[in-house]
Amino acid sequence: MDLHLKGRLALVTGGSKGIGLACARGLLAEGARVAIASRSQAHIDAALAQLPGAHGFAADFVDAEAAARTIAEVEAKLGPIDILVNSAGAAKRVAVDELTPAAWRNALDAKFFSYINAIDPLVKLMAARGRGVIVNIIGSGGKVASPTHLAGGAANAALMLATAGLGNAYAMRGVRVVGVNPTTTETERFLEGLGARARQEGVSIEEARKRSVEAIPLGRLARPEEVADAVVFLASDRASYITAVTLGMDGAQYPTVL
């Protein structure tokens, strides 16, 4: 299936590792031009070795000015951005008894504002041009409360609402805004979050991992490439009538009617 992405310019925030890296790889495979952004130049350099022809930009998207500056730099060097894939930032998983007001604020900065700081300047540029797609990789924690992911889940829920609202507001101006809610995915972030679950449930890291897998009816964790396949499709013209919604990718873990 030709997704008609050849020559389109995509910016993938958090594109140096995990799901973001898989998305960058998938977009390149479809002929898109790709720029990745990450806080770490070392991570960018390692990723670019796997992404022939891609471009890298070091920036912390928690900083609104840095995010806007990076978007301007990408467009100045490479041209108008057609696709934004938001995958930068993840809220630290914290056991409920360890939550503090600072932890809640940090979660919003890490996940919600790292996305909004990219979306806000770019959606306006896209609207002025009359075209563009924004795909937010969010997470099912925004729909189902978890005692080890309350702050991050709240940030995810806010992103789901922002996705729906912005998709609605900009539909008549040629811009689509969609989200993807992956379940537990085999990434470094998953491994980092196991400790909070282990402490919350009083079990070993190995047992916490086992329980995570057993909760998924498909019987395994998602692979980053599987999430990327959905993202690349949603970013394409083949999904031209899909906007203002968030796609669940949870392996039937949360069988709900939307």
List per-block mean pLDDT (blocks of 10 residues) for the chain, which spans 258 residues. Answer: 92 96 98 97 97 98 97 98 93 84 94 97 98 95 84 94 98 98 76 70 80 83 93 97 94 78
Instruction: With beta carbons less than 8 A apart as the criterion, state whether 88 and 115 touch.
Output: yes
Nearest CA-CA partner of 31 in 71, 90, 82, 101: 82
Q: How buried is residue 101: exposed, middle or buried, by Cβ count under 10 Å (0-12/13-18/19+)?
A: exposed
User: How many Å apart are CA 67 and CA 112, to the nearest integer?
Assistant: 13
Whole-model pTM: value is 0.91
Written as one letter, the residue type at 161 is L
pLDDT for residue 254: 81
Helices (runs of H) and strands (runs of E) counted in the chain: 9, 7
Number of Cβ within 10 Å of residue 18's Cβ equals 21
pLDDT for residue 242: 98
pLDDT for residue 215: 82
Q: How many CA atoms lie within 13 A of 238 on its CB side?
A: 13
Residue 33: beta bridge partners?
9
> What's the Cα-to-Cα distance from 18 to each of 23, 76, 104, 179, rounded to whole Å?
9, 27, 24, 17
Fold of 9-249: Rossmann fold (3.40.50)
Number of Cβ within 10 Å of residue 45's Cβ equals 13
Q: What angle do CA 137, 60, 164 make, to 5 degrees?
A: 30
pLDDT for residue 247: 94
Instruction: With beta carbons less than 8 A apart as the criterion, state whether 67 and 61 touch.
Output: yes
Strand residues in 91-199 grouped as ranges (E): 132-137, 175-182
Instruction: Please report where in the chains the tokens 């039937």 appear, as a residue.
Output: 252
pLDDT for residue 107: 93
Instruction: Please report where in the chains the tokens 């992103």 appear, as a residue.
Output: 159
